[in-house]
Amino acid sequence: MTNQPNNLEAQLLALQQEGEKAISAANTLESLEELRVSYLGKKGQMGTLLRSMGKLSAEEKPKIGAIANTVKEALQASLDKQRHALEAAKIQAQLKTETLDVTMPGIYRPQGQIHPINGMIDKALDIFVGMGYTVASGPDMETDYYNFEALNTPPDHPARDMQDTFYLPDGNLLRTHTSSVQIRYMETEEPPIRIIAPGRVYRRDTVDATHAAVFHQLELLAVDEGLTFTDLKGTIKVFLQAMFGDLPIRFRASYFPFTEPSAEVDLQWNGRWLEVMGCGMVDPNVLKAVGYDPEVYTGFAAGFGVERFAMVLHQLDDIRRVYASDLRFLRQF
C-alpha cells in the first residue's frame, strides 16, 4: 500500500506527458476529438486511473486528487490550445482557396421589373387605399350561391349559361367576377364597409385581341347609411383622374343584376369614347342576402378589367401581348 500512491502519481504524470505530446501532434480537429475522448472521456485513461483511488488511504487521497486535477487541467488546456490553432489554420486555408479575385469581370444579371398587369393593380390599389378602402380577397373556385344567387342573378340569367361560365364536375365553378368576394366580406362584417377586391376571373370567352378566358378584375364596394349615386360618381371620377389624368368622363345607363340603377363609365381617350368600367347602386336584394337592412343601408359598387386599363394606358393593340412573356415587349415597361 505504501508504494501505490507513488505508483499512481507516476502514472498520472506519465499520462500528462504522453497526452500533451500526442495532442500537440494532432493535425485535424477530428483526431483531436479522438484524443480528448481517449484521455478525458468517461471511459478514457484518466478515468481508469482515478477509479483506482478508492484503494488509497484517507491521508493519501487528497494528495493524489490534487495531482489528478492538475493533470486533467493540463490536458484540457493542451486540447483547447491545439483546437484554437487548428481552427485558425482551417480558416486561413479557406481564405487562400476562396480568395475573391476583384479583377475578374462581373456577371450581368438584368434587374427584374413589375409586369404591366401587376403594376396596374398596384397603382389602382394605392389610389383606393388612399381613399380609405381595405383590400379583400376570396377563392378562385366558387359556389353557385356566392357567384350568382347571392348577387341577385336568377337561374335563367344568360351569365349562368354553360357557354359563358366554367363549371366544375363537383357543381362548383370558376368565379366569373370578384363580386363574390363582396358577398363573403359582407357576411362577416357590419357596415360601414369600404373594400377593394382584385383577382383573377374566368369566362368562356373566345380569345382574341380584346378578350381572354382568364383575366384580372378589380371591384370596389361601399356600404353605409345615406350613400347615393352622387357618392359613386364622385369616387369613380377621383379614381379615373388619378389613373389617367383629367379626361372627360361620362356615365351611360346600363343593366347589372346586382346593381340598380346601373351604369357604364366611358373615358374620352385620344378623341374617342372608351368603355372602362361598370358600376351602380347595390341592389336591395343583395343587401338582404347578407343580412343588411336595405331600409337603413345603401351601397355602391364598381368594377373594371385590369387588362383593359393596361391596354388604354399603354396604348396596346392586343390583350394577348401581356401574356406572351416576350421580353422585347415587357422591357418597354
**279 - beta bridge partners?**
263, 302
Find, among 300, 110, 266, the residue nearest to 191 by Cα: 300
Within 8 A by CB and 6+ apart from 160, the residues are: 144, 148, 153
pLDDT in tens, the chain (333 residues): 344 556 878 888 888 888 888 888 888 888 888 888 888 887 888 878 777 777 777 777 788 878 888 888 888 898 899 899 988 888 888 877 877 777 888 888 877 788 889 989 999 999 999 999 999 999 999 999 999 999 998 888 776 775 688 999 998 999 999 999 999 999 999 999 999 999 999 998 888 877 788 999 999 999 999 999 999 999 999 999 999 888 899 999 999 999 999 999 998 887 888 889 999 999 999 999 999 999 999 999 999 999 888 888 877 888 888 888 888 888 777
B/e letters for 101-130, b = 16+ CB within 10 Å, e = fewer, are eeeeeeeeeeeeeeebbebbbeebeebbee
Find, among 276, 323, 302, the residue nearest to 117 by Cα: 323
- Backbone dihedral region for residue 56 (phi beyond 0: left; psi -120 to 50: alpha; all else: beta): beta
CATH number of the 116-330 domain: 3.30.930.10
| Domain residue ranges of the chain, discontinuous segments joined by + | 3-97, 116-330
Neighbours of 244 (CB within 10 A): 16
Find, among 74, 68, 31, 27, the residue nearest to 48 by Cα: 68
**pTM as predicted:** 0.65
